[in-house]
Structure 1
Amino acid sequence: MARIDFAPGGLNPPHTHPCGIEVLVVVEGTLLVGFVTSNELNNTLFTKVLYKGDVFVFPIGLIHFQLNIGNTYALSFSGLSSQNPGLITIANAVFGTKPPMSADVLTKAFQVDKKVVDYLQAQFWYDNN
């Protein structure tokens, strides 16, 4: 289990647990949650606004997020179906790799200019210690 505290506007960014299902319970506040289906299901986005006492299930391996849309702090608890569900934060995995992923790959994959890729990669710092 994990406790997740959200400041107003706080985000648990898009991520996935490749080896576990997540069940989220809202204890305080208001969260916008969502997940994206697989390519076979047209990458459909499912979202829901959750309030105190609501529960939501994120299917195994699907990209999902939680955003505090309220004006107060929010608190939730997540239970995972595995001792080692894994965690892949999407932006970190794509734009924060060490060494950096090739700009040629990223510009083609995201159909954006190299300046955009350079900007996004620069948002991640590297600890060389």
Structure 2
Amino acid sequence: MTYTINRMILGHDALRRVFGASVDAGLLGSQTALTATVFASRLMPFVSFDMISYAAGLSRLHAWRFALATLAGIIPASFLLAHFGGEAVSGDLGRATWAVLGLGLVTGLPLIWAATRGKAERKR
């Protein structure tokens, strides 16, 4: 009963009014597509985890698939941040410098790529 009340209060019925029966069929289609969407969103640090979790909760995605995609998606970023953090506090200035540069590169390259791609598309 709680599941039904939460769906009514938290948005499933509102989505059904907007999108019709396609909500019950799955907005993105198959379980595989939904799982891949959650996985890809977890790899992107600028996408809100809360927003994706809420959207997945309103979809027909199975909880175990959501958990698996979330776990697999956050492992790479967690490893990188833990590694760079360990290097930064190691006490060795050279290692700390490389850690900061590496983290800056991991963060900056996607931003530079997006900016240059956007300029190239606007020129067309």
**Is TM more than 0.5 here?**
no
Q: Which has the larger radius of gyration?
A: 2
In the superposition, the TM-score normalised over structure 1's length comes to 0.26
- Return the structure number with greater helix share: 2
Normalised by the length of structure 2, the TM-score is 0.27
* Higher RCO by CA contacts (8 Å cutoff, separation 6 or greater): 1
Q: Hey, which of these two has a bigger chunk of strand by percent?
A: 1
